[in-house]
Amino acid sequence: MTEQELAPLLYRGIGRRKKSLARVRLLRGAGRILVNGEDYETYFPGQADRALLLIPLQVTKTVAKYDVFAKAEGGGKSGQCGAMVLGISRALCKAEPTLEPKLRAEGLLTRDPRMKERKKYGQRGARRRFQYSKR
């Protein structure tokens, strides 16, 4: 099947978190989750990240209903995981609009606005000052 033939069965969602971007595609299937061509359990070594990734599917009880294919880039693993959670949630809303209130109640459709603070001039970092020498 080509991409055009799959269009009614394919749902897309984009998620961002810190410097990370995740492009998520949902397809009806058996519950397989692939990130950048790898299984999510090998891509995300931390148990917390793996548990977080499944939350949108568990809340909506669609774990075994959709296959998730994601391309994550930028930032670190934790940021990519957060971006994927938002991407999966947005794709689920497109697939089944009735799930939106559940996802919104859990806070899964809200983008996390926290970003790294810029370094300020005359300082060593964003908040850290140069060491003061009295003598």
**Full residue range of the structural domain in which residue 26 is found:** 3-105
Which helix (H) or strand (E) is 131 found in, with range? none
Residue 112 placed within a domain: no
Rounded Cα distance between 13 and 35, Å, is 14
pLDDT digits (tens, 9 = 90+) for 29-76: 888 999 999 999 999 998 999 999 999 999 999 888 999 999 999 999
Residue 86 placed within a domain: yes
Residue 12 placed within a domain: yes
Residue 43 placed within a domain: yes
pLDDT digits (tens, 9 = 90+) for 74-119: 999 999 999 999 999 999 999 989 999 999 999 999 999 999 999 9
Instruction: Name the pLDDT band for 2 (thresholds 50, 70, 90).
Output: low
Residue 70 placed within a domain: yes
Is residue 32 within 8 A of residue 65, CB to CB? The reply is no
What CATH code is carried by the domain that includes residue 90? 3.30.230.10
Rounded Cα distance between 124 and 91, Å, is 41
Rounded Cα distance between 129 and 80, Å, is 31
Domain count, the chain: 1
Write down the pTM of the prediction. Answer: 0.87
Rounded Cα distance between 102 and 99, Å, is 6
In the chain, % of residues over pLDDT 70: 94
